[in-house]
């Protein structure tokens, strides 16, 4: 049915919204609409929608329909278009229609329309992949009204301004506190502000952040006032005091981030305070070399990428003499640390490697590059950091030395630290590649495939063996190995070098045929009949168990065997439904949508509706699931129209 020109949004389904703005943004838009953040909704002459949406700032949002009968929106938020604010506007409009409420027409001179012409509001939209990637700065609305505010205040007398500020301070406690802070600083009472700020930091950092996104509940510590007070203190000329407070903030904040479960929201709050602490470090009374040491100490304690501002500071230009002092300080620190070649001492060696990395960086900045490789040699024997040493040797084109250390490193790490050994073999392949010794490179890659058979190592074998024009034969031998377990170089007609010392990793032994790898290769080579053959073979061992990993099977065979792909997606979805939790219901809906798409292609929509109705009856008590299912069946969001 064609959509009415005057009400172009009423036939939209949840699938339409997801196709327009993605599931993630739709969920955020739903949350905004439910929180009643949409205001002053109006209809444009062309049938589009216009509204204010409260977010980080107050944004003007406009939504219209494109030629494919899907929404498209522009917004004064930094994301710029097709954002959660646009989704919220559409949902609010549909809610008004559902309640038979009249949505007024927008005036031709509506102030919001002029905001879309403001310079700069969408300059960077093309560079943003996700709304959360944006650093929300001053909104276009704020920029627009600033001159008006300035003109208004400029016309007031001193007495009138005092009365106005007192009135606002009474209404807004944060403003009152800011004025109090400034008064204390102006009167020289810095100690009171510092004492209160220290208390605030301890209080805010004492409770871990958490989020339950499905119930729209949670707690994220608000560090905005801490940041503002630190900035106020710094502007008043007290960098050393800010730095002391920053040290406490870093220590307590690091612990708080570790204990929080909120997808990094607490970390972001703390991270936004760090540029102020860095400025305080730059302006502090410490010697320049001590400033570098202070920053390195923070970075070494940063396990959650919260203190990147200090990485940036260390990346600036600093005097060689200061780097020289720092290098000597870090060398002394390194010499006092213990090390071990045991896997059980991984954390100890990890910390030593981080310190030695900074030693090497400081040596480089100080012009003492000749000390780096000898230090790497010493550290390789202490912490098994052979890969770092080999990287430096290759950069210096000392290939003979690099190969010697590669062989020693592989020998000492093969059993307990196989990841390091694998990295070293890759370094050896780099050397052989630079020498264009493609037979050796292809042989080593075949060895790696035997150790770790996968789609990735198979592709790497294809790339290297193609250079030797031996890929068809190599492929044939690799496939026999996957099916029967016979090592490629022990098969007749192997075109590359012998590798009698190489064996598959323990987890891959005695698992032939390796059906998972054979399936992945069949998917890679787009051979659905082989995908299905090896999948059926794997099912014999798994006793017909189906899991989320089988999604790739269903996708690969949907044209070759659509009924099988539908059955797989149904089984995966039903498994999630039985978990009885909202996050699982959302995942179930995703797999059901995949199955529905194939059913549509097969023209079996009646059969599909019967199946969905069966799910509704079976899980009628799971209200959240029924809601999500109703949002996934392609029906209009509202069924009642004016």
Q: Summarize pLDDT for 598-616 with one digit per residue, the tens.
A: 999 999 999 999 999 999 9
Output the six-digit token pair for 69.
């009968």
Burial state string for 22-54 with b = 16 or more CB within 10 A and e = fewer than 16: ebebbbbbbebbeeebbeebbbbeeebbbbbbe
- Please name the residue ranges forming H helices in 172-304: 173-186, 190-204, 224-235, 239-259, 265-271, 274-283, 288-300
Inter-axis angle of helices 455-467 and 515-524, nearest 10: 60
For residues 265-291, average pLDDT: 96
Rg of the chain over CA atoms, in angstroms? 32
User: What are residue 73's DSSP bridge partners?
Assistant: 63
Amino acid 214: pLDDT: 65
Cβ–Cβ under 8 Å, residues 96 and 103: yes
Map tokens 């060895």 to a residue: 447
Helix axis angle, 438-451 to 455-467, nearest 10°: 160
Give the pLDDT mean for 350-356. 94
Task: Give Cα 334 distance to the centre of its chain.
Answer: 33
Judge whether residue 84 has pLDDT over 90.
yes
Structure tokens at 124: 């960077």
User: Look-up: residue for tokens 């990295």?
Assistant: 423
pLDDT at 259 over 70: yes
Residue in the block written with tokens 């307590």: 252
Cβ neighbours for 250, distance < 8 A, ≥ 6 positions apart: 277, 298, 301, 307
Yes or no: say if 47 and 77 are a contact pair by the CB < 8 Å rule: no
pLDDT at 466: 97
What's the mean pLDDT when you consider all of the chain?
A: 88
Output the pLDDT for position 342.
53
pLDDT of residue 135: 43
- Between CA 411 and CA 150 the distance in angstroms is 73
User: Which of 176-180, 526-530, 578-582 shows the lowest per-residue confidence on average (mean pLDDT)?
Assistant: 176-180
Q: What is the pLDDT of residues 473-506, one digit of tens each?
A: 999 999 999 999 999 999 999 999 987 677 776 6
Selection from 300, 233, 228, 319 nearest residue 269 by Cα: 228
110-119, 152-161, 249-258, 320-329: which range is least confident on average? 110-119
**CA–CA distance, 395 with 562 (Å, rounded to integer):** 53
Ramachandran class of 13: left when φ > 0, alpha when ψ lies in -120 to 50, beta otherwise:
beta
Neighbours of 63 (CB within 10 A): 25
| CA-closest candidate to residue 615, choices 566, 563, 567, 578 | 578
Q: At what angle do helices 224-235 and 173-186 cross, to 10 degrees?
A: 20
b/e map of 422-434 (b: 16 or more CB within 10 Å)? Answer: bbbbebbbbbbee
Q: Please measure the distance between the N-terminal and C-terminal CA atoms of the chain and give it in whole angstroms.
A: 16
CA distance 70 to 14: 11
Longest dimension (CA), the chain: 100
Residue 568 makes CB contacts below 8 A (sequence gap 6+) with 546, 550, 551, 553, 554
Please give the torsion angle defined by the CA atoms of residues 617, 622, 628 and 633, in that order, rounded to the nearest 10 degrees: 0
- 132-170 in b/e form (b: 16+ CB < 10 A) is eebeeeebbbebeeeeeeeeeeeeeeeeeeeeeeeeebe
Q: Which two tokens stand for residue 557?
A: 């065979």
Looking at residues 47-65, what average pLDDT do you find? Answer: 90
Q: Which two tokens stand for residue 237?
A: 């000329």
- The rounded distance, in Å, linking the Cα atoms of 481 and 488 is 6
Question: What per-residue confidence (pLDDT) applies to 508?
Answer: 59
Separation CA 471–CA 8 (nearest Å)? 57
Question: What mean pLDDT comes out for the span 537-565?
Answer: 89
Q: Is the pLDDT of residue 638 over 90?
A: no
pLDDT given for residue 117 in this prediction: 58
- The answer to whether 125 and 80 have CB atoms below 8 angstroms apart is yes
Residue 198 has pLDDT above 60, yes or no: yes
Range among 8-12, 111-115, 292-296 with highest mean pLDDT value: 292-296
Q: Would you say 131 and 25 are in contact if contact means Cβ atoms under 8 Å apart? A: yes
Q: Does residue 391 have a pLDDT over 90?
A: yes
Q: What is the mean pLDDT of residues 304-314?
A: 95
Average pLDDT over residues 246-255: 96
Question: String of b and e for 456-466 (b: at least 16 CB within 10 Å)?
Answer: ebbebbbebbe
Average pLDDT over residues 136-142: 50
Predicted confidence (pLDDT) per residue in 565-599, tens digit: 999 999 999 999 999 888 889 899 989 999 999 99
pLDDT for the residue 4: 44
Highest mean pLDDT among 43-47, 285-289, 350-354: 285-289
Q: Categorize the per-residue pLDDT at 510 as very low, low, confident or very high, splitting at 50, 70 and 90.
A: low
Question: Is the separation of the CB atoms in 484 and 504 below 8 Å?
Answer: no
Task: Please report the pLDDT score of residue 133 as a whole number.
Answer: 46
Cβ burial 555-588 (10 Å sphere, 16+ → b, else e): bbbbeebbebbbebbbbbbbbbbeeeebebbbbb
Above pLDDT 70, what percent of the chain?
89
Q: Is the pLDDT of residue 228 over 80?
A: yes
Q: Would you state the pLDDT for residue 182?
A: 75
Query: Comparing C-alpha atoms, which of 303, 304, 368, 386 is closest to residue 330?
Result: 368
Give me the phi and psi of 74, to 5 degrees please. -125, 150
Q: Where are the alpha helices (DSSP H) in 435-561?
A: 438-451, 455-467, 471-484, 515-524, 528-542, 551-557
Nearest to 95 by CA among 34, 142, 53, 150: 34
Specify the pLDDT at position 141.
53
642: pLDDT strictly greater than 60: no
Residue 497 has φ and ψ, to the nearest 5°, of -75, 160
Residue 232 CA to residue 185 CA, distance in Å, equals 9
**Closest of 396, 313, 387 to residue 357, by C-alpha:** 387
pLDDT at residue number 155:
86
pLDDT grade, residue 282 (50/70/90)?
Answer: very high
Q: What is the mean pLDDT of residues 130-149?
A: 56
Q: State residue 183's pLDDT score.
A: 76
- Which two three-digit tokens encode residue 495? 């075109």
Which residue in 373, 461, 375, 452 sits closest to 419, CA to CA?
A: 452
Provide the token pair at 66.
């494109």
């Amino acid at each position: 049915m064609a959509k009415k020109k005057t009400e172009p949004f009423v036939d939209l389904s949840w699938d339409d919204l997801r196709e327009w703005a993605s599931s993630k943004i739709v969920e955020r838009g739903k949350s905004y609409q439910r929180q009643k953040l949409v205001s002053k909704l109006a209809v444009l002459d062309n049938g589009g929608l216009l509204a204010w949406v409260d977010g980080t700032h107050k944004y003007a949002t406009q939504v219209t329909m494109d030629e494919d009968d899907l929404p498209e929106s522009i917004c004064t938020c930094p994301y710029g278009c097709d954002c959660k604010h646009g989704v919220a506007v559409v949902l609010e409009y549909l809610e008004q229609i559902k309640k038979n409420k009249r949505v007024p027409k927008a005036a031709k001179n509506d102030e919001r329309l002029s905001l879309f012409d403001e310079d700069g509001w969408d300059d960077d939209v093309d560079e943003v992949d996700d709304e959360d990637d944006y650093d929300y700065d001053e909104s276009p609305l704020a920029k627009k009204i600033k001159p008006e505010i300035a003109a208004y205040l400029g016309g007031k007398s001193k007495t009138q301004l005092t009365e106005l500020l007192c009135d606002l301070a009474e209404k807004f406690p944060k403003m009152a506190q800011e004025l109090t802070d400034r008064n204390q600083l102006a009167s020289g009472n810095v100690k009171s502000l510092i004492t209160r700020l220290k208390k605030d930091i301890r209080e805010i950092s004492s409770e871990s952040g958490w989020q339950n996104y499905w119930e729209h509940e949670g707690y994220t510590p608000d560090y905005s006032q801490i940041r503002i007070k630190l900035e106020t203190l710094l502007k008043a000329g007290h960098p050393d005091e800010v730095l002391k407070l920053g040290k406490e903030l870093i220590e307590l904040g690091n612990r708080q981030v570790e204990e929080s479960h909120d997808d990094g929201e607490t970390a972001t709050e703390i991270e936004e305070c760090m540029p102020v602490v860095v400025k305080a470090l730059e302006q502090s009374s410490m010697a320049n070399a001590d400033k570098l040491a202070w920053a390195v100490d923070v970075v070494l304690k940063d396990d959650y990428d919260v203190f990147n501002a200090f990485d940036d500071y260390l990346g600036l230009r600093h005097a060689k003499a200061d780097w020289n002092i720092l290098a000597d300080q870090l060398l002394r620190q390194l010499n006092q640390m213990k090390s071990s070649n045991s896997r059980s001492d991984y954390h100890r060696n990890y910390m030593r490697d981080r310190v030695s990395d900074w030693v090497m960086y400081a040596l480089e900045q100080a012009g003492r590059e000749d000390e780096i490789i000898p230090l790497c040699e010493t550290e390789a024997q202490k912490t098994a950091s052979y890969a770092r040493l080999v990287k430096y040797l290759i950069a210096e084109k000392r290939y003979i030395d690099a190969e010697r250390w590669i062989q020693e490193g592989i020998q000492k790490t093969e059993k307990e630290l196989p990841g390091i050994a694998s990295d070293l073999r890759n370094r050896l392949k780099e050397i052989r590649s630079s020498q264009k010794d493609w037979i050796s490179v292809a042989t080593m890659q075949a060895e790696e495939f035997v150790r770790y058979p996968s789609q990735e190592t198979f592709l790497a074998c294809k790339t290297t063996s193609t250079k030797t024009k031996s890929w068809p034969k190599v492929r044939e031998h690799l496939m026999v190995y996957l099916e029967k377990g016979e090592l490629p170089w022990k098969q007749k007609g192997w075109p590359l070098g012998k590798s009698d010392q190489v064996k598959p990793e323990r987890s891959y032994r005695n698992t032939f045929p390796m059906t998972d790898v054979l399936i992945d290769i069949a998917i890679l080579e787009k051979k659905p009949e082989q995908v299905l053959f090896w999948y059926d073979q794997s099912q014999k061992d798994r006793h017909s168990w189906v899991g989320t990993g089988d999604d790739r099977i269903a996708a690969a065979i949907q044209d070759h065997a659509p009924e099988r792909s539908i059955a797989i997606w149904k089984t995966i979805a039903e498994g999630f439904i039985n978990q009885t939790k909202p996050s699982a219901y959302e995942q179930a809906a995703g797999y059901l949508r995949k199955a529905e798409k194939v059913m549509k292609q097969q023209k079996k929509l009646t059969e599909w509706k019967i199946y969905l109705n069966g799910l509704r009856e079976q899980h009628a008590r799971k209200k959240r699931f029924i809601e999500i299912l109703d949002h996934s069946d392609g029906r209009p969001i509202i069924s009642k129209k004016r």
